[in-house]
Amino acid sequence: MLAQTNNESSTQSDDSTPHHDERRRHRREFAPNQQLHLVVNHRELATINWSAGGCLVDALEHWKVGDTVAGTLESQNGVPMGAIISEIVRIDDQGRAALNFSTIAPLF
């Protein structure tokens, strides 16, 4: 889950580092060699960090907070892992979108 706590200020929006991890419901992966690819409308977006509850990716130009994003998660080697439906809960000043997964489904 990517929800911010009430005491989290806008100056603390760098979700690419592990210091935010203690407030999360799901353990997040930050290591570059553990990142996944999110494929949306034939565009491949590398995750900046991810967990079972969501991920952080570079936002596509037309995305806005509240949009629903459907796509496929793949390994770094392009192996499909699951279909997801998510909501954009935040787009930061660096153009990164925080996605909260509402549905994760296996592809088999």
Decide: residue 104, CB within 10 A, 0-12 exposed, 13-18 middle, 19+ buried: middle
Q: Which domains can be identified in the chain, with CATH numbers?
A: 15-105 (2.40.10.220)
Model confidence pLDDT, tens digit, residues 36-73: 999 999 999 999 999 999 999 999 999 999 999 999 99
Query: Which pLDDT score, from 0 to 100, does residue 51 have?
Result: 95
Q: Which tokens is 47 given?
A: 């995750």
CA distances from 89 to 22, 25, 32, 79 (A): 19, 16, 23, 27
Model confidence pLDDT, tens digit, residues 64-78: 999 999 999 999 999
Q: Are 14 and 30 in contact (CB under 8 A)?
A: no
| pLDDT greater than 90 at residue 20 | no
Residue with tokens 């929800």: 3
- CA-nearest of 65, 67, 76 to 37 is 76
Q: Are 49 and 97 in contact (CB under 8 A)?
A: no
Binning pLDDT at 50, 70 and 90, where does residue 12 land?
very low
Query: Which pLDDT score, from 0 to 100, does residue 108 have?
Result: 74
